[in-house]
Structure 1
Amino acid sequence: MPLPKPNLYPPFNIVRLSHVEFVVTDLALSRTFYVDTLGLQVTYEDGETITLRGLEERGHHCVVLRRGGKPVANSLSFKVYDEGDLDKAHDWFKAQRLPVEWVERPWQGRTLRTRDPIGIPLEFYCHMDRLPPIHQKYKLYRGVSPLRIDHFNCFSTNVDDSVAFYNSIGFRVTEYTDDAESGKLWAAWMHRKGGVHDMAFTNGRGPRLHHTAFWVPSPLNIIELLDLMATTGYLANIERGPGRHGISNAFFLYVRDPDGHRIELYCSDYQTVDPEHEPIRWDLKDPQRQTLWGAPAPRSWFEEGTFFAGVDVRDAELKAQPIVAP
């Protein structure tokens, strides 16, 4: 199926991805992982909730950790340009016969909750409490020194349909993988903020959250994190990498938090802001697609992911298989 023509004048203006809310079963263990090991900064904590931000971020949080009995993701959140865009988003999703409700969220202004057609829970807001800058407080840099949240990747049962939907609200494809036999999309990377992606889709059992990624200063920070994790009890949490993706050209590492939520540490992709930017195509069987150096991903990377709270999953419609590590 051909890619849709980019929609440069969407019905409302999404600035970027904003934050994810995870349910975790042990808040203390999660704090040790996200704060003491990865290096995210605490902006609020009590016995039920911890909020975190990256070192370059001025918004109150990019991650919300909530204590609960089952590890799931409650929502993926996006920032819109102004309050008028929130109203436009409400009316647009309602016109698509998708559920809409205004919800209260701490540290945020009006927040719209909805979902996409395959069931991914989405929230949109304009205003979040602002915090003083800390990017030059270098004594705070530790772990992998995450600077900011970068993207989400979700399993989709039909990547063509997901691309068509997100294209309609202004996300633009930067790179994609298709299956030569069927002509259907197997994966796609889509952006709002001018990097390779804010949102990506991978063919698979879904909808589920595949991973949340954080931008880090350099590949050296990732190597230092590996040394730290390997000597502080987190060896089994290292899932894939380090390496350089063919898609996006980014240097990467995938790790799992204590509840299995997948986190990518990521840097060095490229600018895609020009409206005439042309997407890059990759064949599903190209070994450099996953990793520029040719190393295939483990089976867990294609099969495991975080469930969304209250959302049923189903098998992917496309049965094509990528190269998988033995």
Structure 2
Amino acid sequence: MPIPAPNLYPTFNTIRLSHVCLNVADLAASRKFYTEILGLQVTDESDSHIYLRAMEERGHHCVILQKSDIPGTVEVMGFKTYDEADLDKAQTYFADKGRPTEWVERPYQGRTLLTSDNMGIPLEFYHKMDRLEPIHQKYALYRGVKPLRIDHFNCFSTSVDESVAFYSDFGFRVTEYTEDEESGKLWAAWMHRKGGVHDMAFTNGTGPRMHHVAFWVPTPLNIIDLLDLMATSGYVDNIERGPGRHGISNAFFLYVLDPDGHRIEIYCSDYQTVDPDLEAIKWDLKDPQRQTLWGAPAPRSWFEHGTPFAGTDVKDSELAASPIIAP
């Protein structure tokens, strides 16, 4: 099935992904992992929440850790709009699509619209977030993998074709995709707003669930440093896959699991996709260099493990096609 043409003039203008709220069991354990191992900076904390940002970010937070009785789930994924008027346009857009809409109060954010996509993934859109002083040149603060910014989300979808059509309609553009030649259906797709390879990606599987949230780092050496740190500080078993280089996106990568099983990708070296007429790159599902240009194939857990969204039911995908999986 061909990918849809991009909608270059969507109803409302989404700039980029912004933040994610993760439900966790033990705030202290999660705080240690995200600050001492990954290197995110605490911007506020309480008995129930910890707010974090990466080193280049001026917005108040890119990750919210929320103490919960349903740990290992995702509360919401956040996106920033171009201006305040886009929020009202988004409310009308999602309501017209039959999706629930609600104006919610969020600390450190202005007016915020809570809704969901066609699969039930909870999404929130805002325009204003508290700005903080720049810290990217405060090198004494750099630790862990030295994350510069949040980069993308990847989610399991029961129908990648339907997910791509939904997000394309409000302005996301496909950069790369994997097609199952036998069925003609999409097995995975990478979609962007900010001019990188992706802000949101979809992978075929039981869903909707979050596959991973990714952070961008300066160089592959940061990833090697993180591996050394995790291997010698009690986190070696949290290393799931990598390091390696993806065929798709050309990114150097590492996947790790946080204390609650949320998958985190550390990511660098992808490419620019600013031109609106840039042609999407097609991959065959059976191409061994699709998922890994070089390095070991992905383990089975990488295709099966994901974290559900709080309050959202999951179901199995009807597409049974499978990529290459490590023995």
TM-score > 0.5, shorter chain as reference = yes
2:238 and 2:296 mapped to 1: Cα distance?
Answer: 19
CA contact (8 A) 1:206 1:314 kept: yes
Offset of 1:295 from its aligned partner?
Answer: 2.4
Within 5 A, what are the aligned runs for 1:93-104?
A: 93-104=94-105
Give the match for residue 23 of structure 2.
Answer: 23
SS at structure 2 position matched to 1:277: coil
Give the match for residue 41 of structure 2.
Answer: 41
Offset of 1:294 from its aligned partner?
Answer: 5.4
CA contact (8 A) 2:242 2:295 kept: no
SS at structure 1 position matched to 2:146: coil
Q: Which amino acid aligns with 1:11?
A: T
Give the match for residue 131 of structure 2.
Answer: 130
CA contact (8 A) 1:287 1:294 kept: no
CA contact (8 A) 1:17 1:151 kept: yes
SS at structure 1 position matched to 2:249: coil
1:156 and 1:80 mapped to 2: Cα distance?
Answer: 24
Give the match for residue 50 of structure 1.
Answer: 50
Within 5 A, what are the aligned runs for 1:61-210?
A: 61-71=61-71, 72-210=73-211
2:98 and 2:245 mapped to 1: Cα distance?
Answer: 41
SS at structure 2 position matched to 1:248: helix
Give the match for residue 3 of structure 1.
Answer: 3
Offset of 1:67 from its aligned partner?
Answer: 0.6
2:51 and 2:290 mapped to 1: Cα distance?
Answer: 35
TM-score, with length taken from structure 1: 0.99
The percentage of aligned residue pairs carrying the same residue is 74
2:321 and 2:137 mapped to 1: Cα distance?
Answer: 47
Offset of 1:47 from its aligned partner?
Answer: 1.3
Q: Which amino acid aligns with 1:313?
A: V
Give the match for residue 299 of structure 2.
Answer: 298
Q: Give 4+ residue runs of structure 1 displaced > 4 Å after superposition.
A: none
Which blocks of at least 5 consecutive residues in structure 1 are unaligned? none
1:42 and 1:294 mapped to 2: Cα distance?
Answer: 34
1:265 and 1:118 mapped to 2: Cα distance?
Answer: 26
SS at structure 1 position matched to 2:93: helix
2:128 and 2:264 mapped to 1: Cα distance?
Answer: 26
SS at structure 2 position matched to 1:254: strand
Per-residue deviation, residues 66-114 of structure 1 (Å, max 9, x unmatched) = 1112221000000001110000000010111110000000000000000
CA contact (8 A) 2:243 2:295 kept: no
Per-residue deviation, residues 133-185 of structure 1 (Å, max 9, x unmatched) = 00000011111000000000000000000000000000000000000101100
CA contact (8 A) 1:288 1:294 kept: no
Give the match for residue 249 of structure 1.
Answer: 250
Offset of 1:209 from its aligned partner?
Answer: 0.3
SS at structure 2 position matched to 1:75: strand
Deviates more, 1:311-320 or 1:293-302: 293-302
TM-score, with length taken from structure 2: 0.99
1:145 and 1:114 mapped to 2: Cα distance?
Answer: 32
